[in-house]
Structure 1
């Protein structure tokens, strides 16, 4: 009887030690996971984006996007842009000033990031207008951004109202309404959306200068990085 009790106690002690080791092992795994997650969450997102951009240079060489400036300009600026974005509207005049200050030396390419509700509709309008000429496109873009507070209320967007603000620019509006459904426009938006995912772009405007992300979100930094690109 005593021997059986001793054996039972031995097995119970062994089981207890096994459970203890399992608990300790699980705790170590959990702690390790938390440490890894912490390191990932606190890493520099700008550095991550720069590394991803360096590994995927093709995303900056898509043909067919709206662009201003010489094709082989030394400074290539890519802006991921949402026509319903208040930041894009606020930054737009500075971008134009910088382009004028470095006229003939910088190429600006717009890529669409339709994060806001209704902005995909406005992009289709803009691209349909571009089919009638680049000059009309940039005029329409200026007009639509100027009227953004009217049609892009984030609580109740009314993207269809953009037609009101481009009617006096000489655009064939009926043709533009038909061209909105052109499959080439859908393909362009789809490509931009895929490249946004690749580059981990999650806000607008997002700028890349010769494939390098903007170091600090300010017009001065954008101009400084363009100057660096021109001198390199």
Structure 2
């Protein structure tokens, strides 16, 4: 390439970059992030930095559950996921993604859970809401007062929660999780991913077996290294 041609080509590239930056600045940010390699494991469509989790943050095995607090199947799976966490206290963590498939009742319960996360009482409030799910969400019945009462008994500051339920911070989490539900083509709750791989076939024993395999494989890999 001749020198004048090289100068023209460089000028053209600069002009294109300026046009892209003006028309869609998010593309520039995405490109910069990709170039720098700054794509945190805790900030993608499966695991966001805001996502509530149970278990150690540095656990080598991550279960992601797309979860609806009004879902009876989610309630049925909770004792199992809790047992898995107790079985592998150092190796496994559970990340919860909000999935409001049951309409207003789900949305209200999710907002209460998010307020509980902000207050540092997510786990006890989650357990209480699931244990008494039939009091606020059975057969399509929606009792917002019961949700707040149960959460308050589990440690939620109700007065503070009233300010948090419709706050921009909680709304942003709610909207982001809905986008991630679509991005991952989630069609039922619960849906599980183990270290990024969707659980398929789906089932309770299948979840137990998949987690056990992942723990054992990582343990063997660590011994060999």
TM range (shorter): 0.7 to 0.9
CA contact (8 A) 1:119 1:159 kept: no
Q: Which has the higher contact order (CA 8 A, sep 6+)?
A: 1
Q: Residues of 2 paired with 1:170 and 1:204: CA distance?
A: 26
Secondary structure in 1 matching 2:50: coil
Q: Which residue of 2 aligns with 1:200?
A: 185
1:169 aligns with 2:150: no
Q: Residues of 2 paired with 1:179 and 1:169: CA distance?
A: 17
Q: Which residue of 2 aligns with 1:125?
A: 112
CA contact (8 A) 2:47 2:64 kept: no
Q: Which residue of 1 aligns with 2:60?
A: 74
Paired positions, count: 174
Structure 1 segment 36-185 matched on structure 2, within 5 A: 58-117=44-103, 118-133=105-120, 136-185=121-170
CA contact (8 A) 1:152 1:159 kept: no
Q: Residues of 1 paired with 2:47 and 2:124: CA distance?
A: 24
Q: Residues of 1 paired with 2:193 and 2:47: CA distance?
A: 12
Q: Indicate the structure (1 or 2) with the bigger Cα radius of gyration.
A: 1
Q: TM-score, normalised on structure 1?
A: 0.71
Note the alpha carbon deviations across 1:147-185, whole angstroms, 9 max, x for none.
111110343322332122123233321011111122111
Q: 1:72 to 1:167 in 2, by over 3 A?
A: closer
Structure 2 runs not aligned, ≥5 long: 1-42, 219-225
Structure 1 runs not aligned, ≥5 long: 1-56
Secondary structure in 2 matching 1:215: coil
CA contact (8 A) 2:112 2:151 kept: no
Q: TM-score, normalised on structure 2?
A: 0.73
CA contact (8 A) 1:95 1:219 kept: no
